[in-house]
Chains A and B, each alone.
Chain A
Amino acid sequence: MRLNDLLEQKKAAIVKQWFNMVVNTYSLDTSQFLKNQKDPFANPVGNTISQGLEPLFNELTKQMDQNTIISFLEPILKIRAVQVMFSPSQAVSFIFSLKETIRKNLEKEICDNKVLNELMLFESKIDEMALMAFDIFMKCREKIYEIKATDERNRTFRAFERAGLVAESQEDRLCD
C-alpha cells in the first residue's frame, strides 16, 4: 500500500493542518483560543477536536471500524450540534477538509500519477465518514429536540402525574 505509507509518513503534518482547518471554521479570535488553550477543562471544544482527529485519520488508513469511528466522531459532532452558528452542512464539512489537506501534502505524488487510484479509493472512505458524521449530527439534533420536548414534561409533569395532580396555571402555560 503505497498511499498508506505516504500518509503514515506525513501523518503528523496532515493531522495538524486538518485540525487548523477545523478550528478555523470558528471566528478568528475564537479559533486562536481553541488552538492555544491546551487545558482540556478550560477548552473542551478545542481539546475534543484535537483528541478526535488523529484516531479518525488512523481509521481511514485501516479497516474503517464503524464503532471506533463513531466513538471519535460523536464527541465532535455533539459539540457542533449545539453551536447553532453552524448550519448542518457546515457542521459536518470539516470531514471534507481532510481531502484538501491530503491533496496539498501529496501534490507531487498525485501529479506523478502514482497514487491517484488509491487516493480515489481513500477519498471515498472520507465520503463515507462524512455520511456517518451526518447521521451522527442528525441523531444529536434529534436528541436536542427530544430533550427540548420532554424537558418540561420530565421535570414537572412527571412529578405531577405521580401525585395525580395537574394544577391549572401550569396547564395554562403548557397549552400556550
Chain B
Amino acid sequence: MAALPKSDELFSKINYKPPQSGWMDTPAVLRDGMFCYAAKPKSVETLNLPYPREWNPKNEDWLLPENWKEIIYEGMRDRLNRFRTFKIFMDICVRCGACADKCHFFIGTGDPKNMPVLRAELIRSVYRNDFTTFGKTLGRLAGARPLTLDVLKEWWYYLFQCTECRRCSVFCPYGIDTAEITIIGRELLNLLGLNIDWIATPVSNCYRTGNHMGIQPHAFKDMLDFFVDEIEEVTGVRVEPQFNKKGADILFITPSGDVFGDPGTYTAMGYLILHHYLKVKYGLDITWSTYASEGGNFGFFTSNETMKRLNAKMYAEAKRLGVKWILGGECGHMWRVINQYMGTMNGPADFLEEPVNPITGTKFENAKSTKMVHIIEFTADLIRHGKLDLDPSRNDHLKVTFHDSCNVARGMGMFDEPRYVIKNVCNNFYEMPRNCIKEQTFCCGSGSGLNASEDMELRLAGGLPRANAVKYVHDKHDVNMLACICAIDRAALPPLMDYWVPEVSVTGTHEMVANALIIPGEKEKTVDLRGEELPGK
C-alpha cells in the first residue's frame, strides 16, 4: 500500500516552523494585540517633550528626526554617566539564564525575546557596539550590533512588553534589574518621541488637571459626592469628605483610578467610610486634594524628570494645606515612587511632621523622612490596637486570596501588613502557592502603563501565570475574590479574571475593611457596597 501522506505535509502551510536563526538575525514582527497606540502629539506637547508628531508603529516610516542615531547615542552616553545601575547592568551580565523563565511575558507569550536577559541584550548589543573596546573591534563576535531602524523598532516593541515588575531581579545573582533597563530604554525612546498613548495622555492629563483621567476639580468632587449618596444608601450613614482643606491633620492621596473606575470605586468608598469612622470616633481630620488628586505616576514610565514633575504636587499641596503628614492609598507603582524616589527627588519634606498615628500613638519610624504612610500600614496599626470595630462575618460570602502587587512587593517589601488586615476583616483567606506570591509574585501583566485595551492579548498572555495560580486556589478552595492593594490591579485583573477564571472577582482591600467596619449610627446592613446581599441577611 502506498505511503500515507503525513499530516505535516498536508498542513505544511499551517505548521509553524520557528526561525532557526539567532536572535540578532530575527527582526521583531509587530503583531496586533501586542503593542499600544502611539502617543498623540497633543499630549507630548503639553509636557514639552521632544518630537511630538502623528506616527503609527505599523507604518514603515516612524517619522524619526534625521539625527536619531546620534540622539540615542548621546542619550546612552549621558545615562551611562548618570546611572551606575545602567553602566553596571550593561557590563556584568554573564547570561547564566537564571532569569530566563521567570518573566510572566515569556511564560505567557512563549516569545524568546521576552526572556529578561534577552530583553536587556537588545540594548546591551548596541551598548557594546558603541561603548566597549571589544564591541568596537570584534563586532558580532563580541555580541555587538549597530543601531538600525529594525533594532530601534525591536527596542520599542519589547520595552513596551515589560511591566517593570522586577521578578527577574530577585533571581539574578548580581541583582540586575530589567525594570531599570526598561526604564532607561523608555527614556531613550522618549528622546525620539516614541511613547505610547496610554502613558503619554495620562501623564499630560495629570500634569494639567491633577490626575491621569483628566478629571477637572468640580467633577472630582461630584464623583465623591456620588459615593457619599451610595454609602448612605447602603449604611444609612452620611459621610462628609473634605477637599483642599487647610489645616487638616492629614492629606490623603490615592490613584484617581479608584475614584473613576470600577471596582476601584468601591475601594474609594472604603476610604471614605474609614475616614468618616476615624473622624466621628477619634476626631481625625483628613482632607482630599483636587490638585494632588493622583497617587499614581505614569511619569515613572516616561522618564525620571517627568516622574519628578508629577510627584512634586504631593509635597507642594501638603505644604500649601499645612497638614502634618500624608497618607497614601492602595497603589503599586505609586508606592515604588514614594518609597524609592520621592524623598530623593522632591524632599526634604521638612515642612511636615514625622508621622505619628494620633489615635494609637504609633510612630511610623520607617517613614520619618518621606513623611508619607501607606494606608495599609495605617489600618494595620489601628486594627492591632483594637481601634476599629470590625465584624468580619459580613465578608463571609467571600473566599479571598491576595495578589501581591509587584512594585509594593519588590520595591518596598510590604507583605504581612495587607495579610494582617485581610485576615482581620474576613474569615476565609487562602494563599496562592509560594512561588507565586510575596517577592516571587507574578505580575498582573498590565503594569507600567500597559493596561490599554488595544494590547489586550499581551495583557491576557502576560497575566496567565497570575491567573493560573488564582485558578488553582479557586479550584481547590472555591476562592471567589481576588484582593489586591493596587489601582492598576483593580483595573487590569477584572478582564484577566473574566477571560481565565470568570468565577473570581476583584476587590481592593479597603473595600473589605469598610464592609466589615461597624460604623456608629449605621442602619442594619443588608447589602455590601456593591449592592450584593450579605450572608444571612
A contact residues vs B (CB 8 Å cutoff): 25-31, 33-34, 37, 39-45, 78-79, 82-87, 89-90, 93, 96-97, 99-100, 103, 110-111, 113, 143-144, 147-149, 151-152, 154-156, 158-160, 162-165, 167-170, 173, 176
Residues in A with CB closer than 8 Å to B92 are: none
Tell me if B213 counts as interface (CB < 8 A to partner A).
Answer: yes
Considering only CB atoms, which chain B residue lies closest to A92 in the complex?
Answer: B14
Interface-centre pick from A33, A41, A96, A100 (highest chain B CB count, 10 A)? A41
Contact of B201 among A164, A165, A173 (CB under 8 A): A173
Cα A116 to Cα B366 with chains together (Å): 75
Residues in A with CB closer than 8 Å to B533 are: none
Residues in A with CB closer than 8 Å to B456 are: 144, 147-148, 151
Whether the pair B262, A170 counts as a contact (CB closer than 8 A) is no
Interface-centre pick from B453, B465, B469, B491 (highest chain A CB count, 10 A)? B453
Residues in B with CB closer than 8 Å to A155 are: 261-262, 491, 494
Residues in B with CB closer than 8 Å to A158 are: 262
Tell me if B265 counts as interface (CB < 8 A to partner A).
Answer: yes
Q: Can you report 26 A-B residue pairs in the complex whose CB atoms are below 8 A from each other?
A: A27-B18, A41-B435, A45-B107, A78-B499, A82-B460, A82-B461, A83-B108, A85-B31, A93-B11, A93-B16, A96-B7, A103-B7, A113-B1, A147-B460, A148-B453, A148-B454, A149-B453, A154-B494, A155-B491, A155-B494, A156-B213, A163-B226, A164-B226, A165-B219, A170-B214, A173-B214
Q: Nearest chain A CB to B486's CB is how many angstroms away?
A: 14
Q: Nearest chain A CB to B255's CB is how many angstroms away?
A: 13
Residues of chain B in range 433-478 having any CB-CB distance to chain A below 8 Å = 433, 435-436, 453-454, 456-457, 460-461, 464-465, 468-469, 472
Q: Nearest chain B CB to A54's CB is how many angstroms away?
A: 18
Cα A162 to Cα B106 with chains together (Å): 39
Residues in A with CB closer than 8 Å to B11 are: 89, 93, 96
Given contacts A26-B18, A147-B498, contact A34 B110 (CB under 8 A): yes
Residues of chain B in range 32-46 having any CB-CB distance to chain A below 8 Å = 32-34, 40
B contact residues vs A (CB 8 Å cutoff): 1, 4, 6-8, 10-11, 13-16, 18-20, 31-34, 40, 100-101, 106-112, 201, 205, 209, 213-216, 219, 222-223, 226, 230, 260-262, 265, 433, 435-436, 453-454, 456-457, 460-461, 464-465, 468-469, 472, 491, 494-495, 498-500
Considering only CB atoms, which chain A residue lies closest to B467 in the complex?
Answer: A44
Contact of B112 among A27, A45, A168 (CB under 8 A): A27
Residues in A with CB closer than 8 Å to B468 are: 40-41, 44
Contact of B223 among A40, A90, A148, A163 (CB under 8 A): A163
Residues in B with CB closer than 8 Å to A85 are: 16, 31, 109-111
Q: Nearest chain B CB to A52's CB is how many angstroms away?
A: 14
Given contacts A42-B435, A93-B11, contact A151 B457 (CB under 8 A): no
Whether the pair B498, A159 counts as a contact (CB closer than 8 A) is no
Whether the pair A27, B31 counts as a contact (CB closer than 8 A) is no
9 extra interchain contacts, Cβ-Cβ under 8 A, other than A85-B109, A148-B453?
A26-B110, A34-B110, A41-B468, A99-B7, A151-B456, A152-B453, A155-B494, A167-B213, A167-B216
Cα A167 to Cα B221 with chains together (Å): 12
Main secondary structure of the interface of A (DSSP, over half): helix
Cα A37 to Cα B115 with chains together (Å): 15
Whether the pair B261, A159 counts as a contact (CB closer than 8 A) is yes
Cα A156 to Cα B101 with chains together (Å): 35
Whether the pair B465, A41 counts as a contact (CB closer than 8 A) is yes
Considering only CB atoms, which chain A residue lies closest to B2 in the complex?
Answer: A111
Whether the pair A144, B499 counts as a contact (CB closer than 8 A) is yes
Cα A166 to Cα B357 with chains together (Å): 38
Residues in A with CB closer than 8 Å to B260 are: 156, 159-160
Cα A45 to Cα B462 with chains together (Å): 12
Cα A159 to Cα B453 with chains together (Å): 18
Interface-centre pick from A25, A34, A165 (highest chain B CB count, 10 A)? A165
Cα A27 to Cα B1 with chains together (Å): 35
Contact of A87 among B14, B219, B465 (CB under 8 A): B14
Whether the pair B16, A30 counts as a contact (CB closer than 8 A) is no
Whether the pair A170, B215 counts as a contact (CB closer than 8 A) is yes
Whether the pair A30, B110 counts as a contact (CB closer than 8 A) is yes
Whether the pair A84, B110 counts as a contact (CB closer than 8 A) is no
Cα A159 to Cα B267 with chains together (Å): 13
Cα A20 to Cα B20 with chains together (Å): 18
Contact of B265 among A27, A103, A159, A173 (CB under 8 A): A159
Cα A163 to Cα B230 with chains together (Å): 10
